[in-house]
Amino acid sequence: MSSEPIDRTRHYDPGRGLVQFTGCIIVVCPRCGGSALVVPGPGLPEPRHFGELLFQPRRLTCAGCGAVDGWEPEARGAGVVGAVPGGTHDPFFRRPLWLQTRCAGHILWAYNEEHVDELGAHIGARLRERGGMRPTMAMFARLPRWMRAAGNRDEVLAGLETLRNLATRSAPAERSDAAYERGDHPRSHQSMYFRGGPYRAGRT
């Protein structure tokens, strides 16, 4: 049975948010400088919605040197303060992302290979269709202008290919020269989850 060919000139955006790519984040190990993984702690139930990913305890592990670290959301009154995705550091441990490269005078970054693939499908498409999610929440609607500019398309796609190659590497010597400490942290607001109530995110 044959399947229809994939139309790579068209990309449909269902409104995925950046939070949906935080299930596994590749970061620079704080001990050896190689690649490490930030994932939800062991034994946790599946999140009921993607927003809960920002409040789940996390574990950082490095297969290269054996480093291990843990993160838990901060308790505050009747709720807990979760992480806020965005920027070139992971939102939990504040480690530089492993997948970073210089591109069009800026830094191109991603959390993991799935994130790279989604960005590539969107940037490479000639026709882009949007779903019903609010633009303030959807990832692609919030991409910086330089990434969406037609004149930068080829350079951004080449940068994403560099990130794909980085995802297959892990040694400290293979680290990108863009993956280092900087001050470009996420926006100054915090995610709040109120015990016994619905997920909410707001400014504090």
What integer pLDDT is reported at residue 194 of this predicted model? 43
What's residue 5's pLDDT? Answer: 41
Is 5 a domain residue?
no
Instruction: Specify if 130 maps to a domain.
Output: yes
> What pLDDT is attached to residue 128?
62
Q: Which residue has the tokens 């449909």?
A: 12
Asked if residue 71 lies in contact with residue 65, where contact means CB atoms within 8 angstroms, the answer is: no
Residue 2 lies in a domain: no
pLDDT digits (tens, 9 = 90+) for 62-87: 999 999 999 999 888 778 888 999 99
Question: Dmax of the chain from CA atoms?
Answer: 58
Q: Which two tokens stand for residue 93?
A: 């441990």
Instruction: State the pLDDT at residue 202.
Output: 37
123's enclosing H/E stretch is helix 113-124
Considering its fold, how many domains does the chain have in total? 1
- Chain CA centroid to CA 62, Å: 18
Residue span of the structural domain in which 165 resides: 10-177+190-202
Q: Residue 154 CA to chain centroid, in angstroms?
A: 22
Report pLDDT digits (tens) over 12-58. 566 788 999 999 999 999 999 999 999 999 988 777 777 888 999 99
- 4 in a domain, yes or no? no
| Residue 32 forms part of a structural domain | yes
Q: At what angle are helices 113-124 and 153-167 packed, to 10 degrees?
A: 160
In a domain, 58, yes or no: yes
- Give a yes or no: residue 84 inside a domain: yes
Cα gap 65→50, rounded to integer Å: 31
